[in-house]
Structure 1
Amino acid sequence: MAMNRAIALVFVVAVLANLAVIASGDDKKILVKTVKGKKVCTQGWECSWWSQYCCNQTISDLFEVYNFEELFSKRNSPVAHAVGFWDYQSFILAAAKYEPLGFGTTGGKLMQKKEIAAFLAHVGAKTSCGYGTATGGPLAWGLCYNHEMSPSQIYCDDSYKYIFPCSPGAEYYGRGAIPVYWNFNYGYTGEALKVDLLNHPEYLEQNATLAFQAAIWRWMTPMKKSQPSAHDVLVGNWKPTKNDTLAKRGPTFGTTMNILYGDYTCGNGDIDPMNTITSHYLYYLDLMGVGREQAGPHEELGCAEQQVFNPSSSPTASSS
């Protein structure tokens, strides 16, 4: 009995010696431990998994309510189409699921802010109702929409009827923070989020947290094993191959457009959809106090001359 107690005491001491609590912010504490010689952390509900990324500041440490309000200052204007839908807390709740995987928590403070700005630049550009003479400027109108207003079709592809059959009466037009189109994309996204989006695509225009989660999942997930995610490209986890270099694809913001939209945006020269996303990125960097000079050379911001990863004839190409 005494021997068992001694062994138990040694075990407890060893565990405690392997844990440390570090103060972070006003009330938050980071719990740190070492696993196989590597430091991993948790920060409560905001970064609740044991992860190397949880040792960094979380998104809410770097991107506060006032930042969100500055970036999307016109989203609740009377003429906006999704008044009252999008809010800061929904974004933070959605992000918490992906912070342990590196979303907004990779690298130092500069890289973290750049990724937040880059992701939200796509969101802002794809949900904007801004135009050249709009009050506050065209870049202030992100999160104006949460769904496509005048769909030209229901976006049902019958070639996927054996894995993601279109639900009777459902329409798979664009919804969400980075709009999801087509039954197969709703199917893949729903499987990842464990939500029945195939039968209920409308969920993405009814729940802002879910809409942000779908967009972050798309940002974090490669569509093919041989390809990077937009996240990996932006934070420098991806190393282009010789073929990528020949195709003018590099670890740049422009390549994130290639991944997300394919030839709807890239490889078509200097077109407005590409320039709009780039403009949002530079604008958001300025508002977040990073400065657009941190975005990199001008030629890295777009994808005008890039060969696309997934041509539009491919099922993985996204509509935009």
Structure 2
Amino acid sequence: MSYNGANYTAAYWTQGNNPSTNNGPAGSGQPWIKGALCGGTTPTPTPTPTPTPTPTPTPTPTPTPTPTPTCSFQTWSAGVNYSLGTVVRFPANGNFYKVVNVGTNGSDGTDPTISTWYWQPTTCGGTTPTPTPTPTPDPGGTFAGLSKAQFEAWFPARSSFYQYADFVAAAAYYPSFAKSGNATLDKQEVAAFFANLQHESDSLKAVREYNTANWPLYCDVNWVRVTCRSTNVNDQYFGRGPIQISWTSNYRSLGNAMGLGEQLVNNPELLATNATIAWRSAIWYWMTQPGRAGRSAHDVMVGGLGFGQTINAINGNRECAGGSEYQGPAQMQTRVNYYTTFTQNLGVPTGPNLTC
């Protein structure tokens, strides 16, 4: 007990004894023992554990909102002919494109992600179009040894439609074109490719076939000639592009190979208005069409059969001896002369079998 500020413990049962006057040490016989702790020995307190702090959650960043377009635009739809200056939003990628050139019927139903002549990427209230990837050139800025300067020297009077950068961009779609790993062979293939194009396109001056009287003559169904639907250029399949692709069936095969479906059949003018597609058409033909040679021009060059067999693959029936429409050796020799010059410019030999 506590009495007058002091603690006392009863030594035995007691009654009425004042602890301040009746106390003594243990064993003294006094009823109270002074100085004992109240409750006995004070126990060592159990330390209060430090609480584990609750981790501060990592805040989720607030996404940057997509700017709301503020310009006037239409949502692009296939087959619609848009007028000059129209801005559209392309649903597949969300980007915006503006009509900068028009054909017979405005944008002629073209796809803005494909036809870079009709369309250009644009912005609409702060939105930024996704850039088209730029193909990586060879070291030194050449393609298989062909520089932009050499290309321009070969074709000084070419149509402005044909540019080196578009050729390089198109070549990126065909990774084995002039990429055998043998520098000499690759330069020979580039020389052979452009020698044939020089002949086919009048030194890259012809975007469309010159003889307009022939324009209605290249319509076919499964290679059976038929009358073209109309005199509209988008209903005719005359020669277009650097290798002058012609005939409905060729346009269909090319479109399917490029993943365009029927777009080239429905709009063959793409080969005369979209430079990358035009160049791709020439490389596609070079890489895949066997002609009279039985193998593509690419395959005969890589296989070491010689330049002459590229002529056989491209126009062998008319220019190679024994062809069903053989017209003599003059045209063949023109191609050989171009090839000889181009290989000299690139510093490689011509290789064997120049004629066919």
Residue 151 of structure 1, CA deviation: 3.0
SS at structure 2 position matched to 1:173:
coil
| Counterpart residue number, 1:274 | 332
Structure 2 counterparts to residues 50-199 of structure 1, below 5 A: 60=143, 62-75=145-158, 82=159, 84-98=160-174, 100=175, 102-128=176-202, 142-153=203-214, 154-160=216-222, 168=230, 169=232, 170-195=235-260, 196-199=263-266
Separation in 1, partners of 2:318, 2:223:
25
Can you give the 5+ residue segments of structure 1 that lack an aligned partner in the other structure? 1-43, 49-53, 76-81, 129-141, 238-250, 304-320
Aligned CA distance change for structure 1 residues 256 and 278 (closer, same or farther; 3 Å): same
* Pairing partner for 1:212 from 279, 282, 296: 279
1:115-154 per-residue CA deviation (whole Å, 9 max, x = no partner) reads 11111111111112xxxxxxxxxxxxx1111111123332
Find out whether 1:255 has 2:309 as its counterpart.
yes
| Counterpart residue number, 1:301 | 354
TM-score under structure 2 length normalisation: 0.54
Answer 1 or 2: which has greater helix percent: 1
Q: Percent same amino acid at aligned positions?
A: 33
Residue 269 of structure 1, CA deviation: 7.1
Separation in 2, partners of 1:302, 1:288:
20
Residue 45 of structure 1, CA deviation: 5.8
Separation in 2, partners of 1:62, 1:186:
31
Question: Residues 242 and 279 of structure 2 are in contact (CA less than 8 Å); yes or no, is this contact kept in structure 1?
Answer: yes
SS at structure 1 position matched to 2:242:
coil
Separation in 1, partners of 2:223, 2:355:
36
Separation in 1, partners of 2:307, 2:287:
14
- Letter aligned with residue 230 of structure 1: A
**How many residues are treated as equivalent by the alignment?**
213
Separation in 1, partners of 2:148, 2:218:
38
> Alpha carbon RMSD of aligned pairs, Å?
3.1
- Letter aligned with residue 181 of structure 2: G
Higher relative contact order by CA 8 Å / sep ≥ 6: 1 or 2?
Answer: 1
Question: Residues 167 and 198 of structure 1 are in contact (CA less than 8 Å); yes or no, is this contact kept in structure 2?
Answer: no
Aligned CA distance change for structure 1 residues 276 and 105 (closer, same or farther; 3 Å): same
- Letter aligned with residue 95 of structure 1: A
1:14-46 per-residue CA deviation (whole Å, 9 max, x = no partner) reads xxxxxxxxxxxxxxxxxxxxxxxxxxxxxx964
* Pairing partner for 2:301 from 229, 234, 247: 234
Q: Which has the larger radius of gyration?
A: 2
Separation in 2, partners of 1:57, 1:257:
31
Residue 61 of structure 1, CA deviation: 5.9
Separation in 1, partners of 2:336, 2:316:
15
1:256-278 per-residue CA deviation (whole Å, 9 max, x = no partner) reads 11111131222237522111111
- Letter aligned with residue 198 of structure 2: G
- Letter aligned with residue 188 of structure 1: S
Residue 161 of structure 1, CA deviation: 8.5
Aligned CA distance change for structure 1 residues 209 and 158 (closer, same or farther; 3 Å): closer
Can you give the 5+ residue segments of structure 2 that lack an aligned partner in the other structure? 1-132
